[in-house]
Amino acid sequence: MKYIKQLDTLRAIAIIFVLMAHWLPKTNIIQRVTKDSIGGFGVHIFFVLSGFLISSILLNTRNQAEEIGLKKAMAFKNFYARRALRIFPIYYLLLLVLYIFRSNLDPYNSSFLYYFTYTTNFYIYNLKTWDVLLPQVWSLAVEEQFYLIWPWLILLINKKYLPQLIWCFIFIGIVSMWFFMDGRFGNILTFCCFDSFGLGALLAWYAVEKSEHLIKLYRLLSIIVIPMLCVMVFDLYFPEWGYINFRTSGSIVSMWMIAYIYINRDTEKLNRNFLLNNRILIFIGKISYGIYLYHSLMPTVINSHFLTTWLGPIVPNVVINMAKHYFGPFMLLKNITCVLLISWLSYEIIEKPFLKLKKYF
C-alpha cells in the first residue's frame, strides 16, 4: 500500500493517548473524565489500524500472487520477513539489554520468558496484575498472536468466504468481551481483541475488493460515529448497562477515522487539514513504535536514578532543589524529552537500516 502520511498522525494521536494514561497522575482532569480509559482508546486505534494495514497487504498480495502465479509459500515468506524486519530488531535488542542488566532491575520483573515469546498478555491475565517493567507489551503480544493465524486465513481460504470470515472475527471479539466483562484482565486476551482487528480488516476488504462501495461504508460510519461516541462515554460511567463494549465502540470510531483518511488520501480536502498534516504529529507517528516500546522505562528505570545518580554530581544543589519542588512537571517534561530522543535515535540508527531490507521481500 502506498504510504499515507496522515496515518502517522493517527498513530501519533494514539501514542499520545497512551502516554497520557501512563504518565498523568490519577488525579489529573483527563484521567478523571476518561475514567483511566484514554490509553485503552489509543490501543484500539493501533489495533484497528493494524488490522486495516495488514489485511490490505495480504489481500493485495493474494491478488498479485494469483495474477502472476506466485506460490503461496513465497507470499507467506515475504509477509513474515517484512513483519520481522519491522518489529523484531528494537524489541529483541531492548530485551537483550534489559536481560543483561536484569540484576539491577529487581524487584521490577522476572518475566523475560514471556517477553521473548510474545505471551505477556497470558502472563498478566494469569497473574491478575500489571507487569511493572514493560506492561504495554501485552498489546504487542496480541498483535503477534494475531499475525500467526490471520495470514493463513486470508491467503488460503476461498475468497468468496472472506467477508464471512471477517464478520466471524468481529463477532468472536464482541462475544468474548461479554463473557469476560466481569473478569479482571480478560480484555487483554487475543480473542477478545478480534473485533478491533476484524473491523480494520473489514475496511481493508472494502478498500481492496469492493472499492466502489467504500464511500457507502464511510457514509454509514459517519452516521453511527456520534452514537458510538455516546456509547463510549456511557460505557465509561455506567459499565453495568453497557451492551456495546468500549473496545467495540472505540474501534468503530477508529475505523471511521481511518476510512476518512484513506478515502481522501489524494485530495486537497485532506491536504488542507491542519491537524492531520501537522509535521510534529507525523514525526511522532513515524517513531511511535519506539515510543510505545520505551516509554514505560522512563518512570521505572530512568526516573529512579535521574536526579540522584546522574544529575547529582554535575548540577548545582539549587537546580536539584527546584526540580524536586516542581517534581511532577519536571519529570513529565524530562520523560517526554527522553522518550522522543531515544525513539528518534532508535528509528534512525536501528529501525531504518532494517526497514530498507524490506525491499528484498
Q: What is the pLDDT of residues 38-96, one digit of tens each?
A: 999 999 999 999 999 999 999 999 998 888 877 878 889 999 999 999 999 999 999 99
* CB proximity list for 216: less than 8 A, separation 6 or greater: none
Helices first, then strands: H and E counts in the chain: 19, 0
Q: Is the pTM of this model over 0.75?
A: yes
Phi-psi region of 129 (alpha: psi -120 to 50; beta: other; left: phi over 0): beta
Q: What is the pLDDT of residues 261-275, one digit of tens each?
A: 999 998 888 888 889
* CB proximity list for 257: less than 8 A, separation 6 or greater: 10, 45
Q: What angle do CA 96, 336, 200 make, to 5 degrees?
A: 75
* CB proximity list for 361: less than 8 A, separation 6 or greater: 77, 78, 81, 82, 85
Joined grid coordinates for residue 268:
486537497
Q: Alpha-carbon distance 198 to 201, whole Å?
A: 5
Q: Alpha-carbon distance 205 to 203, whole Å?
A: 5
134 secondary structure, DSSP code: S
Determine which of 48-52, 171-175, 322-326 has the lowest per-residue pLDDT on average.
322-326
* Omega before 89 within 30 of 0, i.e. cis: no
User: What mean pLDDT is reported for the chain?
Assistant: 88
* Residue 26 CB-density burial (10 A; 0-12 exposed, 13-18 middle, 19+ buried): exposed
Q: What angle do CA 22, 115, 15 make, to 5 degrees?
A: 30
Q: What is the pLDDT of residues 138-153, one digit of tens each?
A: 999 999 999 999 999 9
Residue 24 to residues 28, 75, 215, 316, 340: CA-CA distances in angstroms?
6, 44, 39, 28, 17
Q: What is the pLDDT of residues 14-47, one digit of tens each?
A: 999 999 999 988 888 888 888 778 999 999 999 9
Secondary structure of residue 212 in the 3-state scheme: helix
Give me the mean pLDDT over the 116-123 stretch. Answer: 94
Q: Alpha-carbon distance 255 to 45, whole Å?
A: 8
pLDDT recorded at residue 254: 97
Joined grid coordinates for residue 112:
523475560
Q: Alpha-carbon distance 130 to 107, whole Å?
A: 14
Determine which of 50-59, 181-190, 269-278, 282-291 has the lowest per-residue pLDDT on average.
181-190
Give me the mean pLDDT over the 299-323 stretch. Answer: 59
Do 200 and 51 meet the contact criterion of CB atoms below 8 Å apart?
A: yes
Residue 242 to residues 182, 237, 263: CA-CA distances in angstroms?
12, 9, 32
Amino acid at 92: Y
Joined grid coordinates for residue 175:
462475544
Q: Alpha-carbon distance 358 to 81, whole Å?
A: 8
pLDDT recorded at residue 44: 96
